Amino acid sequence: MPHSTSNPAPDFASPKALSEALEAHAYLSDEGLATACFLGLRMRRPLFLEGEAGVGKTELAKTLAAVLDVPLIRLQCYEGLDAAQALYDWDFPRQLLHLRAAEAAGVTDVQRLESELYDRRFLVSRPLLQALETSTEERPSVLLVDEIDRADDEFEAFLLEVLSDFTISIPELGTISARRPPVVVVTSNRTREVHDALKRRCLYHWLDHPAFEREVAIIRRRLPEAAETLVRQVAGAAGRLRRLDLLKAPGIAESLDWTEALVALGARDLDPETAAVTLGTVLKYREDTERVVQGGIEALFNGG
């Protein structure tokens, strides 16, 4: 993401001012979320966002980086993620080439050669180290730790340690500390419970599916080419789908995909036939699609 390096990141006087800045970048936040973000910035505390997939957690971090005009550094969590993959690694192929070149040149000073091999130029920065190194007092980076619930307990404990002092120790080089803590956004889809210790380190906010009028506003903001009737019908149908016992209830991301697909088809409104052939944009499991079809597509329009 392009960003300026000369001017300091903007400082917001109130949650309302931050909310307006987010809205200018097409992210509509409610008062609770805007307040949580504002306090995270002011108190320099990580923000822990929890909620169903597709409610806008990751998008908030991206938009916050755009609003602040600073780099977004993303650490995508997954099972088996370890500290080396999140912190740093040594570029072994380059080190080996350097070693061979030194041997060819007749270098015999072993101590000097070893110090050269573990020089900063051979260090590969992973997301956590990148966030510390790019975050300055005037322009803190935004670190997105996405889907922490997919990582193992051991990595969660390690992350808690990093977030406690924003310092990383590299045996060969020494200690690297952030001049200012980066703006940290940690997200969870709640596929498992995250330990209380990590939550206590953060400011917590639960993101729920938007209410009908807010969802209409979000879709209209993102897809202004969509007809008003179509937008309201999609938002209403998505809301009714969420009240069903589905394996994966559609989030706002799916509502946007559904609307975009309907616009691509030239639809001005949503009828049962069109809804039936486009369910794949909003439902992601065969069982969910079958449940909706068996219950009658018409139920999405009459509130049944």
Residue 2: the pLDDT is 46
Residue 268: the pLDDT is 93
Is residue 255 within 8 A of residue 234, CB to CB? The reply is yes
d(CA 251, CA 284): 11
Which residues lie closer than 8 Å to 95 by C-beta, 6 or more apart? Answer: 117, 122
* 20 phi-psi bin (left φ>0, alpha ψ -120 to 50, beta other): alpha
Q: Hey, which bits of 42-98 come out as E strands? A: 47-51, 72-76, 88-90
- pLDDT tens sequence across 15-51: 999 999 999 999 999 999 999 999 999 999 999 999 9
- pLDDT tens sequence across 194-249: 999 999 999 999 999 999 999 999 999 999 999 999 999 999 999 999 999 899 99
For residue 6, pLDDT over 60 is answered with: no
Per-residue pLDDT, averaged over 248-254, amounts to 93
170, β-bridge pairs? 174
Q: Which helix (H) or strand (E) holds 130?
A: helix 127-134
Q: Which helix (H) or strand (E) holds 146?
A: strand 142-146
**Summary count for the chain: helices (H), strands (E):** 15, 9
CA distances from 135 to 45, 84, 166 (A): 14, 20, 11
Residue 204: the pLDDT is 96
For residue 303, pLDDT over 60 is answered with: no
For residue 1, pLDDT over 90 is answered with: no
d(CA 123, CA 239): 49
d(CA 69, CA 116): 36
d(CA 79, CA 155): 9
Residue 109: the pLDDT is 74
* Average pLDDT in the chain: 91
Residue 304: the pLDDT is 40
CA distances from 174 to 79, 241, 277 (A): 29, 54, 59
Phi, psi of 285, rounded to the nearest 5 degrees: -130, 140
For residue 4, pLDDT over 80 is answered with: no
For residue 5, pLDDT over 90 is answered with: no
d(CA 38, CA 276): 42
Residue 302: the pLDDT is 65
Residue 76: the pLDDT is 97
For residue 93, pLDDT over 50 is answered with: yes
Number of CB atoms found within 10 A of residue 187's CB: 24
Q: Return the minimum-mean-pLDDT range out of 46-55, 96-105, 275-284.
A: 96-105
Is residue 35 within 8 A of residue 16, CB to CB? The reply is no
- Residue 223 sits at the vertex; the CA angle it makes with 219 and 228, to the nearest 5 degrees, is 70
Is residue 48 within 8 A of residue 199, CB to CB? The reply is yes
Pairing of strands 167-170, 174-177: antiparallel
